[in-house]
Amino acid sequence: MKTSVTGFGDGFSILPPLLILVFTMSAPCRAQSTLSLQEAVNKALASRASLKAEAEQVSIAQGLEKQAKLIANPDRKSVV
């Protein structure tokens, strides 16, 4: 008993254009590069002035915190 599948050739006639479409659409994805966290932050700061201003405020606050932790210089009067 012989069996034949009709439409076998018809079903695969769309395969080559579909493969071409898939490969051309995925090409831009491969061209993208990954960003490190620092690079992403730098890009965001460069594109938004308000973020840059807030980053400066954080930097100022960190400097004040560091200064507050320092030991004060001794006074000559208090040294015996």
The residue ranges of every structural domain in the chain are: 35-70
Say how far apart CA 73 and CA 71 lie, in whole Å: 7
Rounded to the nearest 10 degrees, what angle do helices 49-69 and 37-47 cross at?
120
Q: What is the pLDDT along the chain (80 residues), one digit of tens a residue?
A: 554 445 455 555 777 777 777 666 655 555 577 889 999 888 888 888 888 888 899 999 999 999 999 988 877 776 55
DSSP letters of 5-38?
-TTHHHHTTTHHHHHHHHHHHHHHHHH-----HH
The residue whose two tokens read 């769309």 is 14
